[in-house]
Amino acid sequence: MVSLGERRPPPGDLASLSELDEASLLGGLRERFLRQQVYTDIGDILVAMNPFQPLPLYGREVSEQYRHPQRGTLPPHIFAVASRAYHAMLGHRGGGPRSQCIVISGESGAGKTESTKLLLQHIMNLCKGNSQLEQQILQVNPLLEAFGNAQTVMNDNSSRFGKYIQLRFQKNTVRGAKLSEYLLEKSRVVQQDTGERNFHIFYYMFAGLSSEEKEMYGLLDPSLYRYISGRFGTQDVAQRWKQKYQEVCNALDMVGFQEQEQVDMQAILAGVLSLGNVTFEPEERNGSVKVSEASRGWLKAAAGQFGVQEDELLKCLICTMSVTRGEQIQRFHTQQQAEDARDSIAKVAYGRVFGWIVCKINELLAENVDPEVELSEIGILDIFGFENFAVNRFEQLCINLANEQLQHFFNYHIFQMEQAAYKEEELPWETITFNNNEPILNLLLAKPLGLLSLLDEQSAFPQATDKTLVDKLNSSFKGNLHFQPGRGRVLGFSIIHYAGKVQYTAGGFLEKNRDTLPANVRGLFINSITPLLSLLFTATISRTGTLMPHVKAKIIPGADDKFNSTRKQSAGAQFRHSLMMLMERMYSANPHFVRCIKPNSQKEPGVVDSQVVLLQLRYNGLLETIRIRRDGFSWRPLFEEFAERYGILLVKPHVSLTKESCLEILQSTDLTGWICGKSRLFFKYWHQEQLAKYVERLERAAVFIQKVFRGFRCRKSYLKLVAELRAQAQRLQEEAERERSRQLAVEAEAQKRISLPVPMPRKRRPQPCTHSPEKSPQPPVPRPRSKLTESTPFDNFLDPSAPRPVLGTEEQTREEVKMRKCKRGATIRWFKETQAKKVMQDDGAFPDWLHGMISRREAENLLIDKPLGCFLVRISQSRPGYTLTYRGEGRCRHYMIEMQPNARYVILGEDRAHASLTELVRYHQTVGIQPFMEILTVPCGQKSSESLDYEDLECLRLGPPEAEGEAPPEEQPCPSRPSPSRPALQSGATTVLRHVWFRRNKNCQKEESLDKSRTKPSSGKEIGGQRAFPRLHSSICLAMQEIQQFSSAALNTSVRNGCQALSIEDVEPK
């Protein structure tokens, strides 16, 4: 075994290799991988090898190092790609602000999904603002993974859909996000191959739901369900799934899904599983089919979970209704047609739930800015990798088509554009050949004779079969180098893709492309009493297959009679349109490439299979990529662009945008290796960073000049203000001296006129002088203050024309006091109407840690002598919400608690939402608050009898005091007054609050008792103190009882038959 420490480590940038061949490329990647250096550069392209194990490369310290990475100073990293894209979007890398896109490609299991999460994590860290939006965006990935990822033979967390995340920025702050999804593999809901599983969310639900919640949704033992193949995981796997389910629920809360929406969504998923257990058997009388006796309960359960009538759902499964010449005709299904109808309903229901989740995410994360404001964008593409299974179906064809498009996009930017520029500018260049996959794209996408066009043509004929499709393809593509007819009895064909030959099984191609939905199903679900399901089928479907819930589909009379009336476009046509729109977005942005490599097929850490890696290097064209990055010029700006951006390096005004100016700029630098063409300059990939350093040096000089000038202006303004204050103090002192002299003179004159002894008036003491006459008054010393306080004479005003605030005017003070009162009153009303009952404990008292509407300074004074970790929660004075004040080491920290529209509490910057304020406090008594991981220890109570914490709260009245014969308000003890009967204020305040918040009128009591009588047993999720349930909860419970009774009866029958058989054996003669 060779000791890697004795050899010179391979370079981090493969474009600097001295020998360029497959062996040196493979050896360099292998050695770096075995050193746990999983990232390698090829110029500005990143190669990422999946380590199949967690590595200490992604912590906060590492992320901080890559905020402003410079080439050569730090090793290659996925964070460096995110930083390059972010700074290029802001215009910091040699050009103006421009939208960017990051393209992550590779085969299934190469680590594309994890790379996407790391890119998002670092970009959110770069644009970190005081907003919850960053955390909401980060929660999108675990949510989509649960509903859109599944275990396959090649990957335990394979993306069964494609996604393009668009992050929208205003300057350097993220303002919103939009998600586009492509081709969810809905067939996985009803069928999985050997060694594969259904979508993660089904297993998460079984592992994460409590027994009471399973009963609520109508879920039994997972081994009973056909759609998950009756298989579940081990105890360790189930525990991991349980944790994943909690993460999904938290992500739903964080993004902003309402409680009832989450309950309805899980009820629909349970309905999909129950529907899969419905089986059919032939009817002897008329040749039709009926639901088997064993699955009657499953049909009833599915109807209850969907919120529809059982008999109506049954009609959709076993027959088709049509109207011919005004006469209604009922056509009964065969057993195969009934099973196809059942599976179609399950697939379309799950697909629309997934589409609704994506649409809801876009709605909740949409940017809230002026439409006229221009936003920059960073797009991240995470799409399914190239797949070649033992059995490849319609989904694999679409997936591999998408990968062909991405490979063409890569070839166009890396090879075609660059070499075309050399030819146009007449530069000496030896053409680099590459694997051009444009003929394969023509084979698949050409009109009218491409494969997808022929598939649509065959799908339009009701009599067409998969065999007629294959015959059509064989005759149309006879002689095409990239198409091979199927051999033997296999009904299929093969395509020579850029990544190799893939054999496709044609069975089911037409059915999946038609994407049929049984007649009357849409009308059935539109009339569902579950609002979510009704919304999903009322919505229309766009040309790209995207669900649009807010756009109602036009209902044409008689349209339901058609078998495929709900979709005019085939699945293949929708995918082609969505792919075309994706390419348009990507071609309009500046691309960054991440090529993911899978080191071995066994998913083992620390193992490199040379053949597996070499095959990926070949079809990705990485050898040719290294050659063009080493010898070529990846940055090719026009003369005008370059002079406009870097004219500042000449340090002179009015630089002309000409070739001569560009040459003058370059001669003022130390750059070498560039070439000047006829209309543009040609640079190596590292030149951009070198020029950026020159610009940064000038920017630092400009900032230093600004700092000195501003300091001069501020000192001048400060001295002027100090002189005015001294003059004002001098005038006041002189006026006080004159007034005292006048009073003495008046007293002396009065004494002279006294003739009779009369009582002398009491002498008025002169006002004490604020300044000693011997000592000149000194200007007040400015003290540190919060940025939120109003302006003072010591603020610096750089713009002399800007209006300065006039302090102390009566009108302004009155307005401020009025505004403060309005905000305070609004917050009190918010607390009274929405929070009081939630915060109160079971005994009617508030928790010790809750304080009233106190200020930041008052909270710090309460905690100043408390131990480390002491905390309190106070009601905000200026907004509806709370602030958590924590006694840290040497200082107090204030964490803003935000209440989301779905009634969840979140500490700003945290990644976890909580159902109540009490739950939030309990959670952070065991888990630290980010980023300092501070744990709450001791709650801070009231300090003294002079505390005014509850002055506002105790004046609240939720009902007239006379309603329950209470004492009038003035008879209630006030905690703000000193009282000898209150030795312990904390218990006294609690008593007062208990009295205050239990003041209810009789109507309120009646409403509460009525609500309690309607409330179901307590477990699961609650809305405002009341649980959310599926709409037909009682029907679901009855169905579950029926299923269990039938199972018990079947078990008893089998046991009885077994006993009878044993007794017969006993009586038989030996």
Positions annotated as catalytic residues are 108-109, 113, 155, 158-159, 385, 387
As a whole number of Å, the end-to-end CA separation of the chain is 71
874: which strand partners? 851, 883
| Cα(915)–Cα(903) distance, integer angstroms | 7
Pairing state between β 681-682 and 675-676: antiparallel
Residue 646: φ, ψ to 5° = -110, 10
Count of C-beta atoms within a 10 Å radius of residue 1057:
10
Phi, psi values for residue 378, rounded to 5°: -125, 120
* AA letter at 102: I
Residues 6 or more apart from 355 whose CB is under 8 A from it?
181, 184, 536, 546, 547
Beta strands at 100-105 and 376-382: parallel, antiparallel or unpaired = parallel
Instruction: For residues 406 and 381, give the distance between their C-alpha atoms in angstroms, rounded to a whole number.
Output: 10
CB 220 within 8 A of CB 169: no
Residue 893 φ/ψ, nearest 5 degrees:
-115, 145
Show the tokens assigned to 931.
């980023």
CB burial of residue 806 (10 Å; 0-12, 13-18, 19+): exposed
Give the burial class of 632: count Cβ atoms within 10 A of its Cβ; 0-12 exposed, 13-18 middle, 19 or more buried: buried
> Which residues face 331 on adjacent strands?
320
Q: Which two tokens stand for residue 795?
A: 């603020």
- The single-letter DSSP state of residue 290 is E
- β-sheet bridge partners, residue 621: none
Tell me the chain's radius of gyration from C-alpha atoms: 37
Give the phi and the psi of residue 752 in degrees, each rounded to 5: -65, -35
DSSP-assigned letter for residue 1023: E
| Distance in angstroms (rounded) separating the CA atoms of residues 241 and 233 | 9
Distance in angstroms (rounded) separating the CA atoms of residues 526 and 160: 28
Look up residue 393 and give its two tokens.
């179906």
| Contact indicator for 46, 85 with CB cutoff of 8 Å | no
Residue found under tokens 């204050």:
725
Task: Write the DSSP symbol of residue 790.
Answer: P
CA distance 458 to 466: 9
Tokens for 659, please give them: 């070739």
3-state helix, strand, coil in the chain (%, to 5): 50, 15, 40
**Positions of E strands within 235-316:** 280-282, 289-291
> Residue 756: which residues within 8 A CB-CB, separation 6 or more?
none
Answer for the pair 662, 687: CB distance below 8 angstroms, yes or no. no
CA distance 330 to 995: 68
Q: Name the CA dihedral angle for 518, 523, 525, 527, rounded to a multiple of 10 degrees.
A: -160
Using DSSP's 3-state secondary structure scheme, residue 1009 falls into helix
Is residue 882 within 8 A of residue 895, CB to CB? The reply is no
- Closest C-alpha to 451, from 486, 410, 493: 493
CA 547 – CA 87 distance, rounded (Å): 34
Q: CB neighbours of 764 closer than 8 A, spacing ≥ 6?
A: 743
3-state SS class at 6: helix
Rounded Cα–Cα distance for residues 868 and 508 (Å): 67
Report the alpha-carbon distance of residue 570 to residue 455 in Å, rounded: 9
